[in-house]
Amino acid sequence: MIIVNYIASIVLIVLGLYTVCTKKNLIKVVLGLGIVDYGVNLLIVSLGFNDGGTAPIYQMSDLLNGVAPHFFVDPVPQALTLTSIVIGACVDAMALSLVIMIYRKYKSINADDVRRLHG
């Protein structure tokens, strides 16, 4: 099952990179970056997944009795994903605000027109 997640995440990353590289519309470029981010997030969250595992919660009685903990999913990747999502959202917001200001200044959001710094 998990292999589907990996494939999907890689497809998302490649799709996002493709968008960034080929679309001239700056908003689409930002969307591409977002897609790459989601792909990576999916990859991370899938890494912690164990088929058949439970939520990572100890029961006090188990610990006291010395019973082996349950087979559960890895909680760390979920924390990582959460952080990464927040960062991704910030970056997207920043990028979109820059695009808005670029539009005000250049009257265009086509990448071919936004090239005053070159050479």
Partner 1 sequence: MIQHFPVLAVMLLFLGAFCVEIFGSKNEGIRNTITMLAATIALVLIYALIKPVMIDGEIISYWMGNWAPVSGYAIGIGYEIDALSLFFALLVVTTFWLSGVYSLSYMANDHHLGHYYTLYLMLSGSVLGLVMTGDVFNMFVMVEIMTFASVALTAFRNENEGTLEAGFKYLVIGSMGSSFTLTGIALIYGQCHTLNMAQISAQLSCGGLTPTTVMALALIVAGFGVKSYIVPFHTPAADAYMVAPTSISMIFSGMVNKAGVYGMIRVLYIIFRVMDQSNVQMLIVLFGAVTMFIGVTMALTQHEFKRLLAFHSISQIGYVITAIGLGSALGLTSGLFHAMNHTLFKGLLFLTAGAVLYATGTTNLDKLGGLSKRMPKTTICFLIGAFSISGLPPFNGFVSKWLVYQATYTKAVESGNFVYAIVTVVALVVSVMTLASFIKVTQAVFFGQLPAELKKTKEVPAAMLVPMYIMSALCVLCGIFYPIVNKYLLYPATNAALNVTNYIDKMMGDGYAAGLGVSNIEVAPAAFSFWNPIVWLILFVVIFIAAFIVITGSKSSRGQLLQPGVKYDPKYATFFSGEEELFSQVGGSDLFWGFKTDWKGYYRVLEGLHSGIVTDYAVFTVIATAIITLCMFIFMR
How long is the chain? 119
Instruction: Report, in Å, the least distance between residue 24 CB and partner 1.
Output: 6
For residue 54, give the 3-state DSSP assignment.
strand
For residue 9, give the 3-state DSSP assignment.
helix
> Which residues share a beta bridge with 110?
25
Among 20, 27, 73, 85, binds partner 1 (CB under 8 A): 20
Among 3, 4, 21, 68, binds partner 1 (CB under 8 A): 21
Q: Cite the DSSP H helix spans in the chain.
A: 2-22, 26-47, 60-65, 76-106
What are the residues binding partner 1 (CB under 8 A)? 13, 17, 20-24, 26, 29-30, 33, 36-37, 40, 43-44, 47, 74, 76-77, 80, 83-84, 87, 90-91, 94-95, 98-99, 101-102, 105-106, 111-112, 114-119
